[in-house]
Amino acid sequence: MDTIALSEKRHTVMLVDDEESILNSLRRLLRGKPYDLLLATSGAQALSLFELHPIDMIVCDARMPFMDGPTLLREVHKRDPTCMNILLTGYADMSMITQAISDGYIFRYISKPWDDEELQLALDEALQVQNVLRDRDNPKALTSE
């Protein structure tokens, strides 16, 4: 797989936040990226979208009513461990974050207010890691190309 093929591959990214303004600003930020974006304003909506679409990456707010970010991402991780999960947090609840990272169901966390560039880099990096992992788990696909 060469780099051109990689960059042309479109990824499906789901953004989850109970505040629509956040979703909209993220959507604007990621407009130029080769992503198919899905937006959800609650954990429940995110899960039902997750059932319908193959999703490569989720960027999710930590504090949401009913189902909070870590709970949603833990659920997602159970169903698809290769989905890259990124947690957006408005406050640093360190124990919750370290627990989530050491349990392996989030790839990294980004604190609000985020730096646009840093967020974009984090998303790129997550997808690169995902590609490497998928290649490792499925070496046949590599050789057949």
Partner 1 sequence: MTDNKAISRETLESMLKAINMGVLLVDQDCKVLFSNHFMSINSGRSAQELVGRTLFEAFPELPELWTRQKINSVFTLQNFAFTSWQQRPHLFNFESTRPISGMVRHMYQNCTFFPVQDADGGSLGVGLAISDTTDTAARQLELTHLNELLEEEKSAQALLIARLEDAQAQLLQSEKMAAIGQLAAGVAHEINNPIGFVCSNVNSLRRYLVDIFALLDAYEQASDETHAHAHPELAAMRDKADYNFMRQDIDELLTESVDGLDRVTRIVKDLREFSHVDSYEWQLADLHKGLDSTLNVIWNEIKFKAQVIKDYGDIEPIECMGSQINQVFLNLLINASHAVGADGEIIISSGREDGGVFVEITDNGHGIPLEIQNRIFEPFFTTKPVGMGSGLGLSLSYSIIVKHHGRLTVRSEPGRGSCFRAWLPLRQPLVQAHLASAVEGS
How many residues make contact with partner 1 (CB under 8 A)? 21
**Which one of residues 12, 25, 45, 131 is an interface residue with partner 1 (CB under 8 A)?**
25
Shortest gap between Cβ of 135 and partner 1 (angstroms)?
32
Tell me if 29 contacts partner 1 by CB under 8 A. yes
Shortest gap between Cβ of 100 and partner 1 (angstroms)?
15
If one counts every other C-beta atom within 10 angstroms of the C-beta of residue 18, the result is 19
Cβ atoms 30, 55 nearer than 8 A: no
Tell me if 124 contacts partner 1 by CB under 8 A. no
Shortest gap between Cβ of 63 and partner 1 (angstroms)?
7
Tell me if 24 contacts partner 1 by CB under 8 A. yes
Tell me if 28 contacts partner 1 by CB under 8 A. yes
* Integer-rounded Cα radius of gyration of the chain: 15
> What residues form DSSP beta bridges with 63?
none
Tell me if 21 contacts partner 1 by CB under 8 A. yes
Tell me if 22 contacts partner 1 by CB under 8 A. yes
Length of the chain: 145
Question: Where do the H-state alpha helices sit in the chain?
Answer: 3-8, 20-29, 43-52, 69-79, 94-102, 116-137, 139-144
Q: How far apart (Å, rounded) are the C-alpha atoms in residues 77 and 106?
A: 8
Quick check: helix, strand or coil at residue 37? strand
Q: State the residues that interact with partner 1 by CB under 8 A.
A: 19, 21-22, 24-26, 28-29, 31, 63, 88, 90-94, 111-114, 116
